[in-house]
Structure 1
Amino acid sequence: MKRPTIPDLARAAGVSVSTVNRVLNQPESVRPPTKDRVLAAAEEIGFYGLGTIEHAIKSTQATHRLGVLLQRSSRSFYRDLGAAIAEAAEAYPAHNIELTLEFLEDLTPEKVASHIVSLGERSEAIAIVAPQHQLVADAIDTVLDKGVPIVSLIGPLTAKGNISFVGLDNWKVGRTAAWAFDKMVRDPGKIGVLVGSHRLRNQEMNESGFRSYFREHNASFTILEPLPTYESAAVAREHVEKLLTDHPDLCGLYISGGGVTGAIAALRAMPKRDDFVAVGYELFDDTRAALIDGTLSMIISHPMERFARETIATLMKAKSGGRDAGAHRVTFGFDIYTPESV
Structure 2
Amino acid sequence: MPRHPTLRDLATAAGVGVATVDRVVNGRANVSKRSIARVLEAARQIGYPLPDHASHMQLADRPALELGFVLHKPSQAFYQQFATEIRAACDAQSEANVTPHIHFSPSQAPDDFATAIRSAAAHSTAVAATAINHPTMIRLVEELADQSVPVFSLLNDFAGRAGAGYFGLDNMKVGRLAGWMMATQLQRPCRVAVMVGGARWHGQGLRETGFRAALREHGPQITITDTSVNLETRQVTYEATLDLLQRHGDLAGIYVAGGGMEGAIAALREARPPGKVALIVNELTEDSRAALADGYGTMVIATPLRALCTMLVATMTGTALHGSAAVQKPALFDPQIYLPESV
**TM-score, normalized by the shorter chain, greater than 0.5:** yes
Whether the aligned pair in 2 keeps the contact of 1:177 and 1:210 (CA below 8 Å) is yes
- 2:82 aligned counterpart, secondary structure: helix
> How big is each residue's C-alpha offset from its partner over 1:6-55, in whole Å with a ceiling of 9 and x where there is no partner?
xxxxxx99xxxxxx6xx6xxxxxxxxxx5449x99996996644896486
Within 1, Cα distance between the matches of 2:55 and 2:143? 38
Within 2, Cα distance between the matches of 1:138 and 1:313? 26
Within 2, Cα distance between the matches of 1:51 and 1:84? 32
Report the structure number with the largest CA radius of gyration.
1
Of 93-102 and 283-292, more deviation after overlay is shown by 93-102
Q: Label 1:274 to 1:78 Cα distance change in 2 as closer, same or farther (>3 A).
A: closer
- 1:268 aligned counterpart, secondary structure: helix
2:125 alignment partner in structure 1: 124
Q: Label 1:60 to 1:53 Cα distance change in 2 as closer, same or farther (>3 A).
A: farther
Q: Label 1:323 to 1:340 Cα distance change in 2 as closer, same or farther (>3 A).
A: closer
Whether the aligned pair in 2 keeps the contact of 1:132 and 1:158 (CA below 8 Å) is yes
Deviation at 1:202, TM superposition (A): 1.6
Deviation at 1:224, TM superposition (A): 1.8
Within 2, Cα distance between the matches of 1:50 and 1:4? 14
Q: Label 1:36 to 1:194 Cα distance change in 2 as closer, same or farther (>3 A).
A: closer
Of 53-62 and 147-156, more deviation after overlay is shown by 53-62
1:222 alignment partner in structure 2: 223
1:82 alignment partner in structure 2: 83
1:195 and 2:170 correspond: no
Whether the aligned pair in 2 keeps the contact of 1:171 and 1:209 (CA below 8 Å) is yes
- 1:257 aligned counterpart, secondary structure: coil
1:17 alignment partner in structure 2: none
1:259 alignment partner in structure 2: 260
Within 1, Cα distance between the matches of 2:162 and 2:275? 50
Deviation at 1:331, TM superposition (A): 0.8
2:137 alignment partner in structure 1: 136
Whether the aligned pair in 2 keeps the contact of 1:117 and 1:142 (CA below 8 Å) is no
1:333 alignment partner in structure 2: 334
Deviation at 1:150, TM superposition (A): 1.0
Q: Label 1:95 to 1:163 Cα distance change in 2 as closer, same or farther (>3 A).
A: closer
Whether the aligned pair in 1 keeps the contact of 2:153 and 2:159 (CA below 8 Å) is no
Deviation at 1:271, TM superposition (A): 2.9
- 1:102 aligned counterpart, secondary structure: strand
Within 2, Cα distance between the matches of 1:191 and 1:306? 33
Within 1, Cα distance between the matches of 2:287 and 2:152? 29
- 2:342 aligned counterpart, secondary structure: coil
Q: Label 1:176 to 1:3 Cα distance change in 2 as closer, same or farther (>3 A).
A: closer
2:11 alignment partner in structure 1: none
> How big is each residue's C-alpha offset from its partner over 1:93-142, in whole Å with a ceiling of 9 and x where there is no partner?
24210111122222211111122122112100010000001112111111
Whether the aligned pair in 1 keeps the contact of 2:192 and 2:225 (CA below 8 Å) is yes
Structure 2 letter corresponding to 1:128:
A
Whether the aligned pair in 2 keeps the contact of 1:147 and 1:322 (CA below 8 Å) is no
Within 1, Cα distance between the matches of 2:131 and 2:293? 32
Whether the aligned pair in 2 keeps the contact of 1:282 and 1:301 (CA below 8 Å) is yes
> How big is each residue's C-alpha offset from its partner over 1:264-291, in whole Å with a ceiling of 9 and x where there is no partner?
1111111326452111111111111111
Within 2, Cα distance between the matches of 1:216 and 1:333? 22
Within 2, Cα distance between the matches of 1:48 and 1:312? 34
Within 2, Cα distance between the matches of 1:190 and 1:306? 36
- 1:286 aligned counterpart, secondary structure: helix
- 1:331 aligned counterpart, secondary structure: strand
Whether the aligned pair in 1 keeps the contact of 2:30 and 2:94 (CA below 8 Å) is no
Q: Label 1:266 to 1:43 Cα distance change in 2 as closer, same or farther (>3 A).
A: closer
Whether the aligned pair in 1 keeps the contact of 2:190 and 2:251 (CA below 8 Å) is yes
Whether the aligned pair in 1 keeps the contact of 2:77 and 2:285 (CA below 8 Å) is yes
The CA RMSD measured in Å over matched residues stands at 3.0
Whether the aligned pair in 2 keeps the contact of 1:69 and 1:104 (CA below 8 Å) is yes
Within 2, Cα distance between the matches of 1:103 and 1:69? 6
Within 2, Cα distance between the matches of 1:190 and 1:154? 29
- Segments of 5+ residues of structure 2 without an aligned counterpart are 8-17, 20-25
Q: Label 1:51 to 1:178 Cα distance change in 2 as closer, same or farther (>3 A).
A: farther
Of 112-121 and 315-324, more deviation after overlay is shown by 315-324
- 1:340 aligned counterpart, secondary structure: helix
> How big is each residue's C-alpha offset from its partner over 1:48-88, in whole Å with a ceiling of 9 and x where there is no partner?
44896486441111011111111121000000110011011
2:69 alignment partner in structure 1: 68
1:293 alignment partner in structure 2: 294
